[in-house]
Amino acid sequence: MAAKEDLYSKILPRRLRQSRPGSMKSSSNLDVLLSMGFSRHRALKSLVSTGGRSVQAACDWLFSHVDDPFLDDPLPREFVLYLRPSGPLQNQLSHFWQQSRVTCGKNKAHNIFPHITLCQFFMCVDPKVEALCEALQTTVQQWRGRFPRPLPLELYTSSNFIGLFVEEQVADVLRQFAADFATEAVRKTEVKVEPHKKQLHLTLAYNFPSDHLSSLEKLAKGIEVKLGCDWLAVLFSRDIRFANHETLRVMYPYMPQNDDELELVPGDFIFTSSMDQTSTSEGWVHGTSLATGLSGLLPENYVSLADESDTWVFHGVSATVPLPYSIISGPVSPQQVLRFSGSHTRQPKRTVFVCRHGERMDVVFGKHWLTLCSDSKGRYVRSNLNMPPSLPLWGGQRDYDMDAPITVFGSTQARLVGEALLESNTMIDFVYCSPSLRCVQTAQNILKGLQQDGKLKVRVEPGLFEWTKWVSGNSMPAWIPPTDLAAANFSVDTAYRPLIPANKLTVSESYENYMSRSYQVTKDILSDCKNTGNNVLIVAHASSLEACTRQLQGRSPQNAKDFIQVVRKIPYLGFCACEEQGETGMWQLVDPPILPLTHGPNHSFDWKETLLQE
């Protein structure tokens, strides 16, 4: 007990600072874990530590922490309530974050995503976290429709701080919301929450060298603070043991050579404290793994500095309040968080997103992949886990040799992109795709991730097909007609009439013709969608990211050789965003609202050949 009391004495008096996402689900997940034989304490700890995403995530956490010396300690977590921006303003802030980091390097503001702090950090034990989330939900419902529109922000700079401050009268309204949440938290959980009493603001940069001030201030003045923005009220938590530690990301794997060393797995995070480094050898640091809870020595050059909030957990709040002013889907789970809708001082800018399709079967399994999944009677038989369980319209109707589907991983890639768009609160008004089956399947899975499957209809546009010079053989692929796709449960618009019919495409078109076709069909799509929606998603080919956006920006096409080099660098689910600049008719590439998706090749594994070798 003495050791535990020492730990609490070090933790509790600290000045508390700031946090990030995960979410506590209903008690059904807890019931499942209890029925599996886990103790109530461990089950609750795993759910809170993973944000209640799923039973599987909780189980994985428990199994990886089986040797964690603190697994059975009743340590509370630190929580905080933030307002996070989304929509057009968030895109501008993300651009500022990236540009300031590139121009001036990392400063203290980069440790945490853009936010307005509504309360100080506070402690909550695991058994009360679900009730804490319910307290926020209740407060959200009570405040429906009462938030200022828009939220006025004003730029402020000093020698070592740059931020956006909330106008004081409006800030008082937000403080009252935080106070009501604090009251509800005490009533439901007996947890004391202290609303933020200082000036409410969004920090852009602080604790930076003085010679960086002018560059940072110039970038900050480029942020259009009057852009439309939805503000999300969200709870984050962090492990109290590591609140004052440095956060490192594991870059390379390392297997321990001695008993006091720590195994490193790429993607894991390591917490280090300067107090623990006094007796370590040069080039080595002492740290604790987020993934396992284990501590030990590790080579310093195998890790890199990460952002403090990278290890925080998001806690979503379940609710059913109708839009606006209420609830939208949370970033890492289908649960929900508060939304304050800010009025737009002008019409939002139109954006076209262009995305490459997911991983294709014929690339993974070779051009003769069909022979690997056909039995003697011509029926489809899955012979690898990365092959889909079934294919639409299998049989004589299909031209799979010329029109390959995507793999299981390709579907997963696409859903991840859809989930990321949902997390960033990006609204998609129209979806167009190439007639290639791989593009239709990718679009469908993006809609699933967006939770718009069956709500938005995909418009299949042959004019978005790739450069026909790359088509093998002397004829175009026999694509599945939209009516047949709809019959196979694809969410396609059967009433849509293509801008360029399939029979107008010919094999071996010139490069100039392909670029002209892509530009024209993109312009026609944007013209058709004008005044009825702002955001258009095009799902097509690697070449489409360049072909559909370059001339839209007023830039001339590259020569064919340079164009091919660009296309080769675009991965599956490569994603770009092109934004209209006012009423000028000009468009410009901007930072996409989602993070890039990095993935690599994986060879086929045959256990017999590998494990039974002599």
Structural domain boundaries enclosing 410: 351-590
**Active site annotation includes 541:** yes
Gap between the Cα atoms of 152 and 168, Å rounded: 9
Average pLDDT over residues 481-510: 93
570 residue type, one letter? I
pLDDT tens, residue by residue, 209-228: 999 999 999 999 998 887 76
Tell me the CATH number at 558. 3.40.50.1240
**Under 8 Å between Cβ of 19 and 119:** no
Answer yes or no: is 1 within a domain: no
Are 293 and 402 found together in one domain? no
pLDDT at 320: 25
Asked which of 241, 260, 290 is the last residue of a domain, the reply is 241
Are 189 and 255 found together in one domain? no
pLDDT tens, residue by residue, 385-405: 999 998 887 765 468 888 999
**Under 8 Å between Cβ of 343 and 231:** no
pLDDT at 612: 60
Q: Is 459 annotated as a binding residue?
A: no
**Active site annotation includes 245:** no
pLDDT at 453: 84
pLDDT tens, residue by residue, 295-340: 999 999 999 999 888 899 988 643 322 222 222 223 333 233 344 4
Which range is most confident: 272-281, 325-334, 566-575? Answer: 566-575
Averaged pLDDT of the chain: 84
Are 58 and 145 found together in one domain? no
Are 113 and 54 found together in one domain? no
**Active site annotation includes 603:** no
pLDDT tens, residue by residue, 60-102: 899 999 999 999 999 999 999 999 887 778 778 888 888 888 8
pLDDT at 423: 85
Asked which of 225, 241, 257 is the last residue of a domain, the reply is 241
Are 395 and 291 found together in one domain? no
Are 86 and 174 found together in one domain? yes
pLDDT at 473: 79
Among the residue ranges 408-422, 551-565, 593-607, the one predicted with the least confidence is 593-607
Are 56 and 124 found together in one domain? no
pLDDT at 542: 95
pLDDT tens, residue by residue, 517-528: 999 999 999 998
Are 90 and 190 found together in one domain? yes
Asked which of 16, 45, 65 is the last residue of a domain, the reply is 65
pLDDT at 4 over 50: no
Catalytic residue among 115, 357, 415, 459: 357
Are 103 and 221 found together in one domain? yes
**Under 8 Å between Cβ of 428 and 306:** no
Which structure tokens are listed for 214? 């002018």
Q: Is 438 annotated as a binding residue?
A: yes
pLDDT tens, residue by residue, 116-159: 999 999 999 999 999 999 999 889 888 877 776 678 899 999 99
Supply the angle between the helices 55-64 and 27-35 in degrees, to the nearest 10: 50
- Strands, DSSP E only, in 63-173? 77-86, 116-117, 122-124, 153-157, 161-166
pLDDT at 274 over 50: yes
3 residue type, one letter? A
Catalytic residue among 115, 201, 238, 356: 356
**Under 8 Å between Cβ of 477 and 399:** yes
Tell me the CATH number at 88. 3.90.1140.10
pLDDT tens, residue by residue, 248-270: 999 899 999 999 999 999 889 99
pLDDT at 142: 85
Counted domains in the chain: 4
What is the rounded end-to-end Cα distance, in angstroms, of the chain?
55
DSSP per residue, 516-538: HHHHHHHHHHHHHHTTT-SEEEE
**Under 8 Å between Cβ of 236 and 138:** no
Catalytic residue among 241, 339, 541, 550: 541
Answer yes or no: is 94 within a domain: yes
pLDDT at 505: 94
Among the residue ranges 356-370, 397-411, 424-438, 564-578, the one predicted with the least confidence is 397-411
Are 218 and 250 found together in one domain? no
